[in-house]
Structure 1
Amino acid sequence: MARYTGPKSKIARKFREPIFGPDKALERKNYPPGQHGVSKRRGKQSEYAIQLLEKQKAKYTYGVLERQFANLFARASAKQGITGEVFLKLLEARLDNTVYRLGIAPTRSAARQLVGHKHITVNGEVVNIPSYSLRPGDVIAVRERSKSLEAISNAVAGHKINKFSWLEWDASGLTGKFLNYPERTEIPENIKENLIVELYSK
């Protein structure tokens, strides 16, 4: 499946946020990329441009393609509650994102790779679909034969105590549990979901 494989620092600088994790290039050049750098004059952005930028930020952050993004938004719109918040909750419930949150992988792209290569199980069954939507109570684990993988061992070793209240983690068994959908205030990503809702409602 197509994924963004271009320069990540350029995207991080575009949004002025470490979207793909700590980035030294962003620290050195905390201004948008371009030939004229920080001195380039930029006119006032239109409302549409601001909304589109926020949508792109969410897509890059969670590693979701356009069609997946639109389908997920449609699902969120059909559910009860505030559409923007429901949408973020569905993004958080993706399997690849949860593998990343649990600390089994250092980045979301690494988590997608682990899932795609059949190293992850859900409720005891191997699942190789990164966009798989978890439900409260689902148990996520590293496949038995994959527990000795250096990439997983290094990620888990560097993982701090679980800081997400909607997830439960057992380091000894390399298993986690998706307890419930997180509240908006618990999701750390700096995304203005109301702008995405406004964009789709045009």
Structure 2
Amino acid sequence: KQKVKRIYGISEKQMRRYYEMATKMPGQSGHNLLQLLERRLDNVVYRLGFAISRTQAREYVNHGFFKVNGENVDIPSYLVKPGDVIELKEKYRNNPQILESLETVARRGIPSWLELDAENFKGVIKSLPTREDITMPIQESYIIEFYSR
């Protein structure tokens, strides 16, 4: 639980909220919890390679660097859904840190549930992330067990 909170940079209160949401969704609660965490806008910005860390991605989102479906979104916890288009605003496209992290992601690759158009600084959510897409060593069943007490 602590590890997951640190990986995604969220508070205990947020973690509890995601647990509540995950248990209300159909399917396995553990998978749902990880899916919700992966769908956070700050995480998607990181996964698409616009930032070298989730912390940096969170800051970029907070400072309004991105649009989702043409709308300004500055909430890191915003949950994206399939079909959403995340776009870097025009005025930030020459940011050297962003250009450098896009080069890094070209080597690292992006998850199969995302699609990156690096030339136009856009990313598309193709589908919801599955458990197989999340390669981090997380025991989600322990987290669910902890919160169900």
Give the TM bin, normalised by the shorter chain: over 0.9
Deviation at 1:181, TM superposition (A): 1.2
Whether the aligned pair in 2 keeps the contact of 1:115 and 1:130 (CA below 8 Å) is yes
With the length of structure 2 as denominator, give the TM-score of the two structures: 0.96
Give the superposition deviation at 1:126.
1.2
Query: Does structure 1 retain, via aligned residues, the 8 Å contact 2:82–2:125?
Result: yes
Indicate the residue corresponding to 1:146 in structure 2: 92
Cα shift at 1:186: 1.5
* Cα distance per residue 1:112-148 (max 9 Å; x no partner): 0100111011001111100000011000010111111
The runs of 5 or more residues in structure 1 that have no matched partner are: 1-54
Contact 1:167 1:176 in 2 (8 A): yes
> Equivalent residue for 1:189?
136
**Aligned partners of 1:163, 1:97: CA distance in 2, in Å?**
12
Between Structure 1 and Structure 2, whose CA radius of gyration is higher? 1
Amino acid at match of 1:109: T
Structure with the bigger percentage of helix: 2
Answer whether contact 2:69 2:86 (CA < 8 A) is retained.
yes
Instruction: Quote the residue 1:173 is aligned against.
Output: 120
AA paired with 1:127?
V
8 Å contact 1:126–1:143 — kept in the other structure? no
- The one-letter code matched in structure 2 to 1:133 is L
Q: Which has the higher contact order (CA 8 A, sep 6+)?
A: 2
Match of 1:81 among 27, 30, 51: 27
Which of 99, 112, 134 lines up with 2:45 in the alignment?
99
Identity %: 42
Residue 189 of structure 1 and its aligned partner are, at CA, apart by 1.2
* Counterpart contact for 2:48–2:110, Cα < 8 Å: no
Give 1:163 shift.
Answer: 3.2
Residue in 2 aligned with 1:116? 62
CA RMSD of aligned residues (A): 1.0
* Cα distance in 2 between the residues matched to 1:61 and 1:81: 24
* Superposed displacement of residue 159, structure 1: 1.9
Q: Which residue type is aligned with residue 142 of structure 2?
A: L
